Amino acid sequence: MKLSGAEIIWECLIREGVDIVYGYPGGAILPFYDAMSKYPQVHHVLVRHEQSAAHMADGLARATGKVGVAIGTSGPGATNLVTGIATAMLDSSPLVCITGQVASPLIGSDAFQEIDITGITLPITKHNYLVFDIHDLAYTIREAFHVARTGRPGPVLIDVPKDVQNAKIEFEYPEGEIVLPGYHPPKEASTSALEAMLRMIGEAERPVILAGHGVLMSGAMREVLEFAERTQTPFALTLLGKGGLPEIHPLSLGMMGMHGTGYANLAIQNADLLLAFGMRFDDRVTGNLKTYAPNAKKIHIEIDPSEIHKNVRADLPIEGDLKTVLNQLLPSLSPLEHKSWLGQIRDWMEDADERDIVNQDVGERLFAAHVIHDMWKATGGDSVVVTDVGQHQMWEAQYYLHQNPNTLITSGGLGTMGFGLPAAIGAAMGLKSSNVWAIVGDGGFQMTMAELATAVQERVPVKIAIMNNGFLGMVRQWQEFFYEERYNATPMYAPNFVKLAEAYGIPARRVERRHDVIPTVEWANSITDGPVLIEFVIEKQDIVYPMVPAGADLHAMIRRPLPEKNSV
């Protein structure tokens, strides 16, 4: 069967199980788009900006576990994908991005809309390819999907010149195993490592599990929970680890780090053993490395060898797949108790509860913490929540308690404003679900709000909750604490979001009082045919507490004062 390069791309996508692609056409990718009508089994979504194509593919990937696919043309189409690719790279999300390129003879001549996209994306992809020969195209696509989804997942880019898309050859799909010299993701732990781990666990009096994104990536949710319950070890979650373990659990410490719970951070700083499961000791988790968990030995299980010893030196490093390693360990793991340690943690929890604004009477003033807490109650805590980046992201992490895997999707490593709405669209389409909420700020939402048109055109039943405080809130918070309240470039004008939504034909309401939160969320949940939007007008100068200043000791948290010292 003789096929063009463009048709070969479509054939390979189908064989990789792809049923949705997100993209934007242009000259250098036009042969691919011209062939699209021959492949109706793959649904193409026309985005309003290529950055959103990458975010939508990313949202789909995180929600479903499949490889997300984004398409762009050469030049600006390709460079517009870059932010989304970098977001996926830092959060280990499996993407394949396919870009058109100018014809092979023109490469290097500064032709119209030519850009070296493989050079640009080399530092932010797991791997990338420039395909000069149509005979290599099909195998390259197979290899790209294999690299994207195996080991530590990540984004892969394939750049295909226009003449390669137009060329024709007899097509035969390359079957067989993908073998890449030098690419052998580790799986099992050695017997000696397992024995050392068992010994360290048995000797510990104040252990803490640090559960990261790797718990979800490995599918090790059951194994980590079994480990925690058998050894009575409390667990703290990274931002991307949320959902890996049930947060309503007696052993849960909630989120750790810069805006983590006070008791999680105090537990880490007072621990004598840290069990780092699929996490990378990011600076937002550790604070000052010189004073981080000073009396704790560290066991680090991680599939990516480059992450071991990178930030925090491990006393016992184990390179391997977390699920595999724990399944090796569990048969030999004896039950343990840590009653005194858990009692100390309960004391810290009681202090945190007293400070928590959710437990304070603020009348009808609308604080974001109350909004998120009430949303959690109104949705039964089982929605998939996709956030943008900023204060609302941290409030979601603190007050929406996730019980199930892959129910929080957020930009952690890169902190990409504009991620929320498009990623939520991708998640809702991938899951074919009306149970996906985008929680966004007024700043990040305005970066990609053109995708409201995409949501309407595709009739995506995504629910959008805008936390509108009239500021770039997290930057304003830093200005309040560290820049003597010089609020330069943070007050932000916004349109009437309700009228904006209505202009797109989207049902919308505004909420300004707390007693309206739950009824309005329930109203939004009742709408399952297309998007719906709620604008929450919240307190302008609210603060995310606790906060560990950048580079400070993890226990040196700025905390909300106790109620008797502070009216709110």
Domain count, the chain: 3
Answer yes or no: do 98 and 233 share one domain: no
| pTM (predicted TM-score) | 0.96
Catalytic residue set: 50, 112-113, 162, 474
Answer yes or no: do 231 and 329 share one domain: yes
Q: How far is CA 420 from CA 344, 350, 392, 436, in A?
A: 38, 33, 11, 11
Among 436, 389, 213, 429, which Cα is nearest to 307's? Answer: 213
Rounded Cα distance, 493 and 535, in Å: 14
Q: How far is CA 26 from CA 4, 77, 104, 418, in A?
A: 18, 8, 17, 23
| pLDDT confidence of residue 389 | 98
Residue 180 covered by a domain: no
Query: What residues pair up with 100 in beta bridges, in sequence order?
Result: 160
Answer yes or no: do 21 and 144 share one domain: yes
Residue 536 covered by a domain: yes
Written as one string, the DSSP assignment of 91-158 is TT--EEEEEEE--GGGTTTT-TT---HHHHHGGGSSEEEE---GGGHHHHHHHHHHHHHSSS--EEEE
3 state DSSP class of 212: coil
CATH code: domain of residue 204: 3.40.50.1220
Residue 567 covered by a domain: no
Answer yes or no: do 373 and 303 share one domain: no
Residue 183 covered by a domain: no
| pLDDT confidence of residue 564 | 67
Q: Which residues of 414-450 are buried (b: 16+ CB within 10 A; e: fewer)?
A: bbbbbbbbbbbbbbbbbbebbbbbbbbbbbbbbbbbe
CB 292 within 8 A of CB 270: no
Phi–psi pair at 554, nearest 5 degrees: -60, -30
Q: How far is CA 227 from CA 200, 209, 337, 385, in A?
A: 14, 9, 12, 27
Residue 412 covered by a domain: yes
In tens, the pLDDT along 453-478 reads: 999 999 999 999 999 999 999 999 99
Answer yes or no: do 477 and 518 share one domain: yes
Answer yes or no: do 222 and 340 share one domain: yes
Structure tokens belonging to residue 296: 């704790």
In tens, the pLDDT along 351-375 reads: 999 999 998 888 888 999 999 999 9
Residue 362 covered by a domain: no
CB 160 within 8 A of CB 9: yes
Answer yes or no: do 341 and 381 share one domain: no
CATH code: domain of residue 65: 3.40.50.970
Rounded Cα distance, 48 and 553, in Å: 43
Residue 182 covered by a domain: no
Answer yes or no: do 514 and 421 share one domain: yes
In tens, the pLDDT along 38-48 reads: 999 999 999 99
Among 130, 142, 137, 145, which Cα is nearest to 168's? Answer: 137
Helices of type H across 275-338: 283-286, 322-329
Ranges of residues in the chain whose predicted pLDDT is under 50? 567-568
Its domain, for residue 109, covers 2-170
Q: How far is CA 497 from CA 452, 485, 515, 521, in A?
A: 11, 28, 21, 16
Residue 175 covered by a domain: no
Answer yes or no: do 327 and 427 share one domain: no
Rounded Cα distance, 98 and 81, in Å: 10
Determine the distance from the C-alpha atom of residue 252 to the mean position of all C-alpha atoms in its chain, rounded to a whole number. 21
| pLDDT confidence of residue 360 | 85
Answer yes or no: do 240 and 314 share one domain: yes
Structure tokens belonging to residue 176: 């067989």
| pLDDT confidence of residue 563 | 78
Phi–psi pair at 97, nearest 5 degrees: -105, 125
Q: Among 170, 202, 230, which residue terminates a domain?
A: 170
CB 319 within 8 A of CB 186: yes
Phi-psi region of 545 (alpha: psi -120 to 50; beta: other; left: phi over 0): beta
Answer yes or no: do 243 and 120 share one domain: no
Parallel/antiparallel/unpaired status of strands 408-409 and 463-468 = unpaired
Answer yes or no: do 376 and 302 share one domain: no
| pLDDT confidence of residue 134 | 98
| HEC string for 170-208 | ECCCCCCCCCCCCCCCCCCCCHHHHHHHHHHHHHCCCEE
Q: Cα dihedral angle (419, 422, 428, 431), rounded to 10 degrees?
A: -70
Q: How far is CA 151 from CA 35, 184, 509, in A?
A: 33, 8, 44
The residue type at 430:
G
